[in-house]
Amino acid sequence: MENSPKHIIVAAAVVLNKDNKILLLNGPKRGWEIPGGRVEEGESISSAAVRETKEETGIDIEIVKFCGIFQNVKESVCSTLFVGRPVGGEFKTSNESLEINYFSLEEALNKITWKSFKKQIECCMTRQDPFLIEFNN
């Protein structure tokens, strides 16, 4: 019998404050990015986005929109993307975030060095309907 496939499901959120600025964290591994991480067993995808945002930034959010999915076919990683808005909490760095701040869309895209992270934000900010983007990386 063949082994069952093992996929990684990630949940991430483009968090927009009242000034329409994007919440970014500066992580030790990938630099500036939106909050997100692996969905745990028994956890809903949207709850994971809320939890990861709180763990990495100290900010409590509510999900306001499902945006879409980025699938890295080669690595078997599906990243689910949401738009959220802050509803409480305060900036708090962690071992996953050296710095945290809100930036305009232009500033955010200039700070992020990973092309896939830039594309995720652009898709969440510009597309009206949910999307599926598949790539081999």
Q: Which residues are catalytic?
A: 99
Q: Are strands 8-15 and 31-33 parallel, antiparallel or unpaired?
A: unpaired
Q: Report residue 129: phi and psi, to 5°.
A: -100, 155
Q: Residue holding tokens 């959120």?
A: 13
Q: Residue holding tokens 């309907």?
A: 129
